[in-house]
A and B are shown apart, each in its own frame.
Chain A
Amino acid sequence: MTRITLGGAVLRGTVSAALMASLMSASALGAAPVDLSKWSPEYVRSIAGTQDFDTAADCGKVTPLDYKGRLTFWYQGVFEGDPDLLRQYYKDFFETFRKTYPNIQLEEQALTYNDLLDKFRTALLGNAAPMAVRLQILGGTEFASKGYLEPLKPEDVGYSTEDFWPGAMKAVTWDGTTYGIPTNNETMAFIWNADIFKRAGLDPDKAPATWDDVVKYSKQIHDKLGIAGYGLVARKNAGNTPYRFMPQLWAYGGGVFDEAAANPTYKQIELASPQSKAALQASYDMYVRDKSVPVSALTNQQADNQPLFLAGQLGMMISHPSDYNVMLDLQKKATGTDKDKAQTVIDNMRYGLIPTGPDGKRAVVFGGSNIHILKPEYVEGGKVDEPAAKAIICMWTSPEWSLKMAYAGSNPGNLNGFKTKWMKERLDSIKFLDVTTSMLPYGIPFPALPQSPEIMNIIVPDMLQNALTGAMTVDQAADDAAKKVKELMGGGL
């Protein structure tokens, strides 16, 4: 399989100043441990393995290693769509924490992405929350704005704010105060099956350049081979949907608000703009007009696209670098001729940059997770063991563990993670990592608003479903969604 080198692509590409600025504020550039202005696969390779870190010693300065305490901790853990490799690192992390802090009684609970918010909200209402929580990037401002979280900044656990992506720090900041620390940050990439491209009469080594091309390619694949072209996902209450639709929306020049701008104000609702409607129209064309995407897109999530892709029944999809490892894991479980078929698909797996919109705009969701400490009044028992909470936060956000816990699927929240020996090892062992790290400068964070989870998990998927099922026209669906966002922002019922 050919490794795709995209060295110059980032610099040659149409990276808008606005997008760059949204992630890399000028004030942060100078003091960051890595030079974000030089970001490219070559630069990432050049810094990998250049510095050693002693996690236990560093965290021992925050919370003494012989500290005796008790900690309840919930986190968004690995789920069925993650590779076994990541599962092992999660196991290793908790084992290492227990060895490093033998006197802290840790009671951890893993929850899936889709379940965590509901369970956490319910626990908060009953003052039964854990002392610390690792939430998806979308959740931080919601809970900070409601006053559930303690102020917490990287300096509180021995790091500096500049050690983290400026865009990620925005997601943990509410009303000028920092309420959490990013653990990992990620951008996805575009994945395709070169063999399917070839058989459909497309260039097997070239990703579709624009979203309009995706629509065309998807139709061509479907018409020629009778299989699904693009892995569209439009399920409600599933994180996969906004992560796949928002890049399309932004590329066409649309948005929920002006979140793709350098300094978003979130005042103007853009969901009903012609650009947003064009993005929705592209999904409509694939699902309804061309029928070139999985019919099950309305009830499925990305984890359902993975076996379709491995079975050679899907031509293209947006996903993490970890999908390559997921495919290897799935292939190991296959039997008989299925195993060979799966191997053929893996050999033909290609990664590329996510396509641009008609004006050359390229965008991807700047995703990830953050870790927070709760206020005692919302915690079961009314007490928070702050040193114990800081101990686990220090460890998880350390260069070592923020890298290892994001090994196959994401990137370290702590920028120093890129300098570790594990990053070097990762670059050599995780195929296509170059491509997904190349997407980082195109990343746009979700609006840092308490209403964001509802907008992204319910209103945007509803808009897609209304258009794709024919319950509404594309125009009506976009107008309806814009109206709902307006009502939501106005505090409506």
Chain B
Amino acid sequence: MLRKIWEHRADYAYVLPAIAVMLIVIAYPIYYTVELSFFNTPPGLQLRDKNFIGIDNYTAILTSEVFWKVTWNTLIWTLGSTFISFVLGFATALALHRDFIGRGVLRAILIIPWVISAVAASYIWKWIYHSDFGIIGAVLVQLGLADRPPNFIDSVSTVLPSLIVVNIWREFPFAMIMMMAGLQTVPDQLLRAAKVDGANAWQRFWHVTFPHLRNVSTVTILLLAVANFNSFIIPWIMTGGGPSNASHIWITHIYELAFGRQRWGVASAYSVLLFLILMSLGYFYVRALSGNERKDGSA
């Protein structure tokens, strides 16, 4: 083994700087977060005066009502955003895969939501949704479709779906690009052969196109899921987690606990739990990538 390492010494040397940076900027913060999760950090004390309390932060989190509410919100947010963004992105990619006039322009337009700043987009949508003088409400009232502007983000029942719509609008172009790239890899001769064999459009899609896109779909879904679990900007800017915690997801709740309430210990415990979940998703992501490589015969 030592001989093998010695033979690959140059390879190790090449990755050493990256590992060193990762240890400093990733490993140490992870260690410190895990350590902090076992301490109480009352608002009247400095962080260095923290008290060791064992697993009390984890117990407090798992027995608190807010945790389950926020977890439920996070699941709805992540699954809703990921699934719909993927389906919408995939459908758009299929539509744009055909050759028609203006395809390039349309493709460029559809990418806009993904490339503009999330902060700017959040503020624009906040005004679009505004419960008193938002443009959607104004149009609905003008057209006589509503007596008063609908309440999008000031209601506990509509706030989360409203934010998910914004998130989907912003990230479906990412799914679209990924799937468009995947569609380029589907062998044309297979589709033609299937057509010759009498397969209809749906059968060609289901039996030829989709199996070829399985891996890229998995990767896209995992990347979207990780991004959505970690999503902060849209809910924080548009509602700050409100009203009444109805749009708090894990990441915004962690931020409020840490920076608004200075519960560094509890916030760290939350972060550790979130880290474990994301690592699990990361594991599946790597597995999906490795699966791709094995199928390509490159590993």
| A residues at B contact (CB < 8 Å) | 118, 121-122, 125, 142, 145-148, 228, 234-237, 294-299, 308, 313, 450-451, 454, 457-458, 462, 465-466, 468-472, 488, 491, 493
Contacts and interface: CB of A to CB of B under 8 A. Distances in A.
Interface stretch (B202-210, B253-261, B272-280): B253-261
A146 B153 contact: no
B260 A458 contact: yes
A295 B131 contact: yes
B132 A228 contact: yes
Contacts of B238: 299
Contact of B241 (A236, A469, A471, A491): A236
B261 A454 contact: yes
A236 B43 contact: no
Nearest to A452: B43
Contact of B244 (A121, A297, A308, A462): A462
Contacts of A297: 154
A70 B103 CA distance: 58
Contacts of A299: 126, 131, 153-154, 238-240, 242-243
Given A236-B241, A471-B244, A308 B131 contact: no
B266 interface: yes
A218 to B, nearest CB: 14
A469 B239 CA distance: 14
B260 A296 contact: no
B241 A125 contact: no
A328 B22 CA distance: 54
B244 A469 contact: yes
A118 B44 contact: no
Contacts of A145: 44
Given A295-B132, A299-B239, A451-B43, A458 B56 contact: no
A125 B47 contact: yes
Nearest to A114: B240
Interface in B73-130: 126, 130
Contacts of B47: 125
7 contacts: A294-B132, A299-B243, A454-B261, A462-B245, A471-B156, A471-B243, A493-B263
Q: Chain B interface residue count: which class?
A: 35 or more
Contact of B266 (A295, A471, A491, A493): A493
A121 B154 contact: no
A118 B267 CA distance: 15
Contacts of B131: 294-296, 299
A121 B259 contact: yes
B33 interface: no
A465 B43 contact: no
Contacts of B45: 146
B247 to A, nearest CB: 10
B217 to A, nearest CB: 36
A298 B243 contact: yes
A468 B242 CA distance: 12
A493 B240 contact: no
Contact of B43 (A142, A147, A294, A308): A142
B60 interface: yes
Contacts of B243: 234, 298-299, 465, 468-469, 471
B151 A295 contact: yes
Interface string B185-197: 0000000000000
B173 interface: no
A234 B45 CA distance: 29
A234 B154 CA distance: 11
A470 B240 contact: no
